[in-house]
C-alpha cells in the first residue's frame, strides 16, 4: 500500500469516527429535531484533500455549531438572529403549544380578577402573532442572559483522539507529525 493511501485510510477512519461521535454527542445533549438528528448533526462532514505534498483534513459544520458548543454571551440579537430563532421555533413545532399556554395563562389571570366589569372574550392568538411573541421572548432572554453551551464538540475532540491520530500518522510516516486545528470562524 502506498504511503498516501495509508494516510488517507487513517484520516478517513478518523473522520468517520469523529463525525459519528459528534452526532452522538448532539443526540446525548438533546440537540434533536422531533426525535431525529438535528440540522447541525446532519451537516457535519469532513474532506480529505491533497495539494502536492500536503494532505489536509477538514471537519466541516455550520458556524452556529460553535455557539451550540461554547454558548453565547448576553448581547442583543440581530435581525438575522431573530429570523433564525423564528425558523427554529417553526421547525421545533413549539409555536402552537406556546399559543395555547399563553391563552391558558391569560384566562387564569382573567378568572382571578374579581371585578364587576364584563370580561373580554379571549381567543388563541394567530400563529404569526404567537411566532412573533415567542421570537421576542427568546431574543430578550438571549440579550439579557446569553446561553450556556453544551460542549458537544469540545468533549469529543478533547478526549485524546488527536494524540492517537498523531501517533498513527507518525507510525506511517516514521517521523514526527504536527496537527494544527484552524478555527475558520476566526480568520
Average pLDDT over the chain, rounded to an integer = 86
**Digit-coded pLDDT (tens) for 40-76:** 899 999 998 888 777 888 889 988 888 889 998 999 9
Question: Average pLDDT for residues 92-108, to the nearest whole number?
Answer: 91
If you ran DSSP here, which 8-state letter would residue 73 be given?
Answer: -
CB-based contact 32:60 (threshold 8 Å): no
Question: Average pLDDT for residues 120-140, to the nearest whole number?
Answer: 92
Domain regions of the chain by residue span = 1-72+148-187, 74-145
Confidence of residue 5 (pLDDT cuts 50, 70, 90): confident
pLDDT of residue 183: 60
Is the pLDDT at 187 greater than 50? The verdict is: no
Which percentage of the chain shows pLDDT scores above 90?
40
Confidence of residue 2 (pLDDT cuts 50, 70, 90): low
Cell numbers 388563541 label which residue?
124
Confidence of residue 38 (pLDDT cuts 50, 70, 90): confident
Cell numbers 491533497 label which residue?
50
Whole-structure pTM value: 0.73
Question: Average pLDDT for residues 156-171, to the nearest whole number?
Answer: 86
Question: Average pLDDT for residues 123-150, to the nearest whole number?
Answer: 93
Confidence of residue 143 (pLDDT cuts 50, 70, 90): very high
**Digit-coded pLDDT (tens) for 81-96:** 899 899 888 888 899 9
pLDDT of residue 160: 85
Question: In the numeric block, which cell numbers belong to residue 3?
Answer: 504511503
Our CA angle for 145, 146, 152, nearest 5°, is 135
Question: In the numeric block, which cell numbers belong to residue 113?
Answer: 380578577
Cell numbers 500536503 label which residue?
54
Residue among 93, 92, 103 nearest 125 (CA) = 103
pLDDT of residue 3: 63
pLDDT of residue 57: 86
pLDDT of residue 21: 93
Amino acid at each position: 500500500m502506498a504511503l498516501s493511501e495509508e494516510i488517507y485510510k487513517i484520516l478517513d477512519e478518523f473522520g468517520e469516527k469523529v463525525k459519528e461521535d459528534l452526532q452522538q454527542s448532539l443526540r446525548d445533549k438533546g440537540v434533536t429535531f422531533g426525535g431525529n438528528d438535528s440540522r447541525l448533526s446532519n451537516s457535519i462532514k469532513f474532506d480529505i484533500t491533497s495539494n502536492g505534498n500536503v494532505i489536509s483534513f477538514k471537519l466541516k459544520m455550520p458556524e452556529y455549531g460553535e455557539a451550540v458548543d461554547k454558548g453565547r454571551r448576553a448581547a442583543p440579537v440581530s435581525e438575522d438572529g431573530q429570523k433564525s430563532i423564528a425558523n427554529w421555533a417553526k421547525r421545533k413545532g413549539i409555536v402552537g403549544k406556546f399559543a395555547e399556554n399563553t391563552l391558558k395563562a391569560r384566562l387564569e389571570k382573567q378568572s382571578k380578577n374579581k371585578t364587576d366589569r364584563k370580561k373580554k372574550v379571549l381567543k388563541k392568538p394567530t400563529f404569526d402573532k404567537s411566532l412573533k411573541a415567542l421570537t421576542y421572548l427568546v431574543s430578550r432572554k438571549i440579550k439579557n442572559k446569553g446561553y450556556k453551551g453544551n460542549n458537544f464538540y469540545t468533549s469529543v475532540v478533547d478526549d485524546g483522539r488527536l494524540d492517537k491520530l498523531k501517533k498513527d500518522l507518525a507510525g506511517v510516516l516514521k517521523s514526527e507529525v504536527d496537527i494544527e486545528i484552524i478555527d475558520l470562524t476566526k480568520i
